[in-house]
Amino acid sequence: MQEDALNNLREALKLSPDNMLLRLMLAEALLNAKQADKAEAEFKIILDKDPSNEQARTGLAKAFYEQQKYSAAIVILEELLERKPSNAPLLLLLSKSLLKNDEPAKAMQHYKNLLAINPSANDEELDKHLRGANTAGGSVDDIIESLEDSFEKLEKPAINFDHVGGMNKVKEEIKIKIIQPLQYPEHYKAYGKKIGGGILLYGPPGCGKTYLARATAGQINAAFISIGIHDVLDMWIGSSEKKLHEIFELARRQTPCVIFFDEIDALGASRSDMRHSASKMLINQFLTELDGVQASNDGLLILGATNAPWHLDAAFRRPGRFDRIIFVQPPDAEGRESILRILLKDKPLGQIDYALLAKQTQDFSGADLKALIDVAIEEKLRESFEKGVPQPIQNKDLFNAIKQVKPSTKEWFTTARNYALYANDSGLYDEILDFLKIKK
């Protein structure tokens, strides 16, 4: 029966030898019929005519594997995975080929990647090796759990620049300095311009640094990994440079990917009390990852944010690291107006005088504006319950709420001012002085 089907395909191909789809069917059928050598020949004919045919390439790798030509299979699979780093079947076949080819360490590495993508994947032989390789501690379950932990950090943000009010200059800078190099790397290479390195956002709390980082990923439809202060502290306690490395590796497998270090001063604190050895090792690991020495950071977009840039170790600012430093200032009136519009969108509204509201909210951060609206909404909800019907938010509700929320950005500037005046190495904080209208 199987032979019949194969013969039919062969006959059909005789009539139209250039029909690649038909040849692909024959090749796959041969593979299924355990005639891997013949399948190999057919896949090769297809690839001669159409070298970019990924299905044929995958088939060829399988044909090689079946014939125990493991190193040939590995070469093809590695190449395919470069383009499709999270393809589970390819990862599995590569892991198996590596194991057969006496490269268990590499096999395990790819198998772990596979488990991170598809925790329910399992292969008996690989599992056995994974267990054996880790007798010094963690079980397979531990490893899977830790991978799942870091995998949970992966998200695809649903917000983009349109959801971020104001910040036009910062958005523009991010576009030019990091989004375009990511999207058009060959243009940059053509002019010999180096790409890479990260952007550090700094400024008073609540002004949208974290929010903008997430929106940057959404803007280019990239994956997003956010490492916050708690993650860093956990790594400190466990002195886990390995964990940090795993996170970077996860990001490198998910390119394009924005990897975001929130409150990064926790990691790169220059205060002497934080310079104990655990943190030093972690910092060194971090710098190694940033430099992309051991692994390529192509397609990786590295962002950091801090309210206290002066606590950041200067080593972080060297070329190729966080060499672009952007001040995220409190929104001006225009910015506040646009933030208010965004925050009130889709809410039941009466007539709202946005321009006047913006004028009356000097020194409010984006987070303060959000708090203000929350206050107004709570008030409105109460009223709606009393009257039994939803009540639209009116101008006066918002103006009443302004009185109940204290703007929070001023305090930050009392500290920032001192650093800008007395510790402004190479004009790092000139933008703060400009903002405060202090002459340099």
Ligand X SMILES: Nc1ncnc2c1ncn2[C@@H]1O[C@H](COP(=O)(O)OP(=O)(O)O)[C@@H](O)[C@H]1O
Which residues of this chain interact with ligand X, rule CB under 6 A? 164-167, 205-211, 305, 339, 342, 366-367, 370
At its nearest, how many Å lie between ligand X and the CB of residue 20? 51
Beta carbon of residue 324, minimum distance to ligand X (angstroms, whole number) = 17
Q: Taking a C-beta distance cutoff of 8 angstroms, is the pair 181, 284 a contact?
A: no
Of the pair 205, 292, the CB lying nearest ligand X is at 205
Shortest distance in whole angstroms from residue 229 CB to Mg ion: 10
Among 210, 240, 329, 338, binds Mg ion (CB under 5 A): 210
Cα separation, 219 vs 91, in Å, equals 29
Q: Which is nearer to ligand X, 367 or 375 (CB)?
A: 367
Q: State which residue, 166 or 268, has the beta carbon closest to ligand X.
A: 166
Residue recorded with tokens 């340099």: 440
> Which of Mg ion, ligand X, none does 91 bind, CB closer than 5 to 8 A by kind?
none
304 binds, among Mg ion, ligand X, none (CB under 5 to 8 A by kind): none
Is the C-alpha dihedral spanning 359, 360, 363, 369 positive or negative?
A: negative
Which among Mg ion, ligand X, none contacts residue 366 (Cβ within 5 to 8 A by kind)?
ligand X
For 135-143, which contacts have Cβ atoms below 8 Å and span 24 or more sequence positions? 143/112, 143/115
Write down how long the chain is: 440
- Residues 243-280 as b or e (16 or more Cβ within 10 Å = b): bbbbbbbbbbbbbbbbbbbbbbbbbbbeeeebeeebbe
Contact 312, 264 (CB under 8 A): yes
Question: Whole-number minimum distance, CB 343 to ligand X, in Å?
Answer: 6
Residue 170 CB, shortest distance to ligand X, in Å, is 9
Beta carbon of residue 206, minimum distance to ligand X (angstroms, whole number): 5
Q: Minimal CB distance to ligand X: which residue?
A: 366
Closer to Mg ion by Cβ: residue 112 or 209:
209
Report the residue number, 181 or 206, with the smaller CB distance to Mg ion.
206
Rounded-to-integer distance, Cα 395 and Cα 399, Å: 6
CB neighbourhood size of 120 (10 A): 6
Q: Which CB atom, from 308 or from 342, has the smaller least distance to ligand X?
A: 342
